[in-house]
Amino acid sequence: MLFGRLATFYFFFFSLLGLVVPYFSPYLKSIGMSAVQIGYLLGAFHLSRLYAPGIWGYVADRFGHRLLIVRLGALGGLLSAWLIPGQLEFLTLWLCMLLYSFFWNAILPQFEVITLQHLAQRANEYGRVRLWGSVGFIIAVLLGGELFIGEGIANVPYSFVLAMLLILIASFWVPDSKEVHSGIKPAPGLIRATLRRPEVIRFLLMIFFVQMAHGPYNGFYTLLLQQFDYGGTAIGWLWSLGVIAEIVLFGVLHRLWLRFGFEQVLIMALIMGVIRWLMLAYLPQFLWALVIAQLLHAASFAVVLASGIRLVKELFPAGSEGRGQAIHASFGFGLGGVIGSVVAGYLWESTGYEFAFLFAAAASLIGFLLVYRVEFLGKAQQN
């Protein structure tokens, strides 16, 4: 029963991303935004990740009540989402996105902590819960391909409101976790010492570059497909294919870690990420190349995401998990996401898709070089 409640929340949470990531850029284009403006608007969605997770994480670690924070974030997100439909002026829309994302970014880092606390010693099973978020993304993106490509694109903002309402409802079905109110408050020096560890520094830098590499994909992949005359159904299925690969990966990742080790799985995933972006840069006109590139989403995104969440759980002191997850989200999805979105917008407008995805490949390569041959977890933790 608990598994189902956690899975339901992830399902609705990531169904919203299935509406935002593929279809918000075409919506912005339809209301007259340029590629550079689209980059900045998507960057606003990431910008609050630089500070919002830290603010919410500090409050959660200091006072507990993580589930209350999740619910407040969902309520604030629902109310601020109502401000987005009908906004046509760039600066006003940018401010609306910034407000909305402040509440949005309160939710996931704290819910990750709640999930891991519920799983306790079964943390390796995290992927089996999280994969239901991928299922929600797939269903949303397939529906969006049918509903939003064409005249229906104007309805994209209203879908955000509906999804936020479902997220808020789901948050009241999830029970609180026992450790939330434990009152453990590690000395700030312990957290700083963790952040000074060379392997943690390298990992956070890797997260930054890998998430920056996803900027062209998250912001402009649908526009790339439209440029090569793919219709709504094809766009929905291509987006879904990447997430189907993600689902399979989350279902078996714990076995891969046990068999090959944490570091080896991560290194191979980073290499595959470089290959993925090179394929989108040079071969987007071929359907077979798009299919392979989407299958590699399991490596470039899913492995890196789950690895980061596990590393925070393993390395940060007890009671600081909220701040640890906030740092992970802020540095990668926040700073990396902002820079990736903005740079992608400029490259897309000035040089086209090829250089935008070459930028992604270069960023992923730097991420690989940063963690190559770095040991993160001891053998006892791996096994």
Radius of gyration of the chain (CA): 19
What confidence tier does 117 reach under pLDDT thresholds 50, 70, 90? confident
- Write down the pLDDT at residue 319: 67
Q: Of 332, 338, 328, which is closest to residue 109 (Cα–Cα)? A: 328
What is the average per-residue pLDDT within 141-145?
A: 92
Task: Show Cβ contacts of residue 338 under 8 Å, excluding neighbours closer than 6 positions.
Answer: 43, 46, 47, 49, 50
Q: Output the pLDDT for position 181.
A: 45
Task: Give per-residue pLDDT as tens, 30-57.
Answer: 999 999 999 999 998 888 878 887 788 7
Question: Is the pLDDT assigned to residue 182 strictly greater than 70?
Answer: no
Query: Which bin fits 352, alpha (ψ -120 to 50), beta or left (φ > 0)?
Result: left
- Which pLDDT score, from 0 to 100, does residue 288 have? 96
Count CA within 13 A, CB hemisphere, residue 57: 23
DSSP code for 201: H
Q: What is the C-alpha separation between 243 and 20, in angstroms, rounded?
A: 15
Query: Of 84 and 246, which is predicted with more confidence?
Result: 84
Predicted confidence at residue 34, as pLDDT, reads 96
What confidence tens digit (pLDDT) does each residue in 204-239 have? Answer: 899 999 999 999 999 999 999 999 999 999 999 999
Which residues span the domain enclosing 354?
A: 2-382
Evaluate whether 208 touches 336 at the Cβ level (below 8 Å): yes
Q: How many other CB atoms sit within 10 Å of the CB of residue 205? A: 17
Q: For position 179, what pLDDT does the model report?
A: 54
322 pLDDT exceeds 70? no
Q: How confident is the model at residue 187 (pLDDT cuts 50, 70, 90)?
A: low
CA terminus-to-terminus distance, the chain: 28
pLDDT of residue 185: 57
Strands (E), the chain: none
Mean pLDDT of 317-331: 74
Q: What is the CATH number of the domain that holds 9?
A: 1.20.1250.20
The pLDDT of 323-336, averaged and rounded, is 80
Lowest mean pLDDT among 2-6, 153-157, 284-288: 2-6
Flag the least confident range among 8-17, 242-251, 267-276: 242-251
Distances (CA, A) of 79 to 14, 24, 163: 19, 19, 12
pLDDT above 70 for 194 = yes
Percent of the chain with pLDDT over 90: 56
Contact call for residues 294 and 242 (beta carbons, < 8 A): yes
Asked if the model's pLDDT at residue 378 lies above 70, the reply is no
pLDDT, one tens digit per residue, over 247-293 is 888 888 989 999 998 889 999 999 999 999 999 999 999 999 999 99
Q: How many domains does the chain have?
A: 1
Instruction: Tell me the two tokens of residue 39.
Output: 């980059």
Task: Give residue 206's pLDDT.
Answer: 92
Position 381 scores a pLDDT of 45
Q: Which residue is associated with the tokens 């709640």?
A: 114
